[in-house]
Chains A and B, each alone.
Chain A
Amino acid sequence: MTTVALLGNPNTGKTTLFNELTDKYAYVGNWTGVTVEKKVGQIRHSHTQVIDLPGVYSLNPITKDESVVTNYLLQNSPDLILNVTNASQLKRNLLLSVEVLELGVPVIITLNMIDDLKRSGHFYDLKTLSDKLGCPVRTSNARNKEGLTQLKADLVCDQSEIQPDSPLKLAYPMMVKQAIRQAAESLTNDYKIDNKFAHWLAIQYINNNKVVRKYALKHQLKPLLSQKAYYDAQKFADQIFETRLSFIEATLSAATEQLQSTKHVALTSKIDKVVTHPIFGLPIFVGIFYLMFKLSFDWVGTPISTQLDKLLSGPISHWANQFLTQVGALPMLRSLIVNGLIAGVGGVLVFIPQIFVLFACISILEDSGYMARAALVTDRIMEMIGLNGKAFIPLIIGFGCNVTGIMAARTIEQPKERLITTLISPFMSCSARLPIYSLFVAALFPRHQALIVLSLYFLGIVVALLMAKFYHVMFKAKEHSVFIVELPQYHIPRLDIVWHGTWDKGKGFIKKAGTIIFAGTVLIWLLSNFGTRGYVTQIDQSFAANLGKVLLPVFKPIGISTWQPISALLTGVLAKEVISSSMMVLFHTSNQGALIAMIGGSFTALSAYALLVFILLYIPCFATIGTIKSETGSAKWAAYSVVSSLFISYSLAFLIFQIGSLLT
């Protein structure tokens, strides 16, 4: 088995390349930090295993996930390293390549996204690059599969066919060179470390690589440890950096060739002038989101959803009812299946069009390259709060599912900032909340559906940011992490990537319908059909009604005057979609139209909005609570998240309802 490690800067297309090479699909986004942990795949019909490592700018890690790469190199020795570089950013990309080449493991460098480079009017002479760097250099474009056959052929060779490479030797200043040589020699002689590896270890140690320094301490590598003060005092790390940089500059200037056309770059920078404008950038961002909601609620999603609902509540319910009567099912079972499962689970499934349209829009934004700009635009506001644009990425991912958002917060290096991002993530309006929004906006705001949903999303962001500021002051977070985001060139989104992205995000929703939404619906059916006296025909005597009525005085001040939504809210902790299915069951309706009419009857626009705000911000679902616990490593933070979100949601809904009532 040959092992190939895929390594390179963030956003150079490693994951796309990984997917193409291994005939497998992993999540691809046009922004930094998509790969958090390493992925392993196999090239079809071969014995070659490919490992996709997270993108890093250097082997000296800044963030938690960046140390994955250095640790990998310290503990494993791949047979081959495929260094994926962004052809248009070669100068910076080669800084990492040099570090990898010094290791002495066979390396193939591929200049990926070669079409972007050509459009910028440059090209590199591959032979010159290959001679200077001492390894094969290829070109590829993973997106349209250019150059992949060659790469695959390079990778699918037998272990024995791979030529051992001698490490790249740079002309470091004499003192540095001497230090490296002495350390490497002692390591080889005293610790029996392989000469090449010892050499690399010495360079990395001198270059103040935190992970390597920890490694040396752990293994008590005296030749390195004893010289630490000397290396640092002499500022060897700076000298190493300068030598590498001048080597790269010389290599590139020798290899650069000019082409003519630069139209595409001009276009990207023209678009960027508008969308990242200090003043207009933010309104454009809001406008794009508004358009997204217009598409999913007004133009495409809701009309399809209404048709689905007609089908479900009409023929399907009717047919099921008839069938069950014919085969002699008890009335109770009929009620469970028709009024419970079909109405409840089906009632959530009819929102698939809205959710998929929204996910498709987000995938298009990701693949076109706009999301990276959105992070840049929001960076200015985040800066005022004390976070930076990097925190925006997990937050946006949280729009899909808060759990994935919290997982993505791992890319933030400062522990305090990471904790803050984790704590504010549940305020982002995840897709599970869409069905209930849909229901209420259709009932009470039929003409302004997109606007109301947009306002909820942004309210979520505003609350998240205010809380972030609050935590920032509380935790006295002083350290700042650096926000580096690459602005990739815009490209026309590729249909298959958009579809994959949409499906990836959306299939979780469908799966949930068959699992937790199903379970929640059965639970609420049970609660609404049984009471202290056993099976009840009057829902008012059920457990659900009793429970809702007990809590009614608490919810009165935020505008809720019936018990049904309260019982539905309780089941929402299982998964937020369950709120909608519970409403269906509790209001005893089998179609969305009837429920909308019911809601319209028992809510005013104001109380409905207050309830939506409450739903937006109240207790996170089970899965999110669990993830907060495991990511912060303490049950206390998870409990805190539950209590604080309950407090915030209640206060805000209270304020909105009370102030609104005074005004109207």
Chain B
Amino acid sequence: MATAPAPAVDVREVTVHYGEVLALDRASLRVEPGRVCGLIGMNGSGKSTLFKTIMGLVAPEHGTVAVDGGTSARARRAGAVAYVPQSEEVDWSFPLTVRDVVMMGRYGHLGLTRRPRRGDHEAVDAALERVGVAPLASRQIGRLSGGQRKRAFVARGIAQGARVLLLDEPFAGVDRDSEATMVRLLRELAAEGAGIVVSTHDLHALPELADEAALLMRRVLLHGPTAQVLRPENLAMAFGLGLDGRAER
């Protein structure tokens, strides 16, 4: 008998404090493989903390986290989890080429000295091709446009063979054309079975991108089909005002 595939991400009743500050309060989020979930919330609503919890960077005081059908640690060791950081978290003047960065997706599969073999180079080539930055592969990573940078990091996750993709604000500082390219790319990856969680406070891309959306405000207030979650009366719960398609910061 065929069993249903395990959820890509299954966070249950997770509570996290930073000192006195309550960052997550019994938050639950379950995302199946092949689905794109938009995580909506203001700054400080716990989006980054939720990602950190899924990646095992923060240990919850309460609740459980399962990733790709096992513990977060097991999923990480298996190379199942890829994270695309916010632009501000990256040192764009770091002396690495686009290809170097994408190759870092392979490190978990490599031996002691992480010397890449032919198969790794092929995986990197394919990933660069896939996201459309292959002609720029030998550029220094900072010499890409905002959208190309994001796609280079998605390529790193593709080269890694990740089944769970976490993207933190992938549309910040990205023009509309690049945004459309990114939406297409993520839809393709989901169609191939990846479970994708995208945090954003930029709502206009969501209807095309996300199958489902979750409103976060330390806890998940509402999780359902994107169109339903994006209804003004629902957004008002998470944001108060600012319903012109762009959330208040």
- Same complex for A and B? Answer no
